[in-house]
Amino acid sequence: MPKLIVFNHSSVDGYIADAKGDMSWAKPSIDDTEWNAFVEQNTGGGGMLLFGRVTYDLMRSYWPTRLAAQQMPAIAARMNNFPKVVFSRTLETASWQNTTLVKGDIAGAVSKMKHESSLGMAILGSASIAAQLAEAHLIDEFQIVIDPVALGAGKSMFQGISGPMRLRLLNSRTFKNGKVLLVYAPAD
């Protein structure tokens, strides 16, 4: 069965977006070749990307653009070519290439995808989707990049879970730009 991972940036005080929904703080302020290689490597594999509507709109507004193709051509090509799923009750269509729109039962749809697909799946951003799928015990791994910034307020990746969720550390890695990757799996 393919693995479902969540990949998110987090401030040191636990927020994946600031109080206004902005994530520009996650962009590295220090050039780090090791970090750049990590980003290239982790967008290189096959798989399916899962988004909530807000993250989908954000990604769709950048990756298919000429600017993305100029700034990060390899990553832009991969982002545009990967199969994508957007979960939304409000969207009528999904216009970004290779995107499927799913309305309704998110956990049921992801459970079915895990059983029917051979592709690994990754949730980028999309805190409410990640929390719902974590509650349904469908997340296999959480990859959290802690950025060296405190926001004071914002949106938590785990906002909406009903109680404590125990995790076990699988791996960690520190980068020269101050970012720290923590990889967790559910403990139970």
Per-residue pLDDT 10s for the chain (188 aa) are 889 999 999 999 999 999 998 888 888 777 788 887 887 777 655 689 999 999 999 999 999 999 999 988 988 998 999 999 999 999 999 999 999 999 989 999 999 999 988 889 999 888 889 999 999 999 999 999 999 999 999 999 888 888 899 999 999 999 999 999 999 999 97
Residues 6+ apart with CB under 8 A from 142: 5, 6, 8, 167, 182, 183, 184, 185
User: The pTM is what?
Assistant: 0.89
Domains and CATH numbers, the chain: 4-17+46-186 (3.40.430.10)
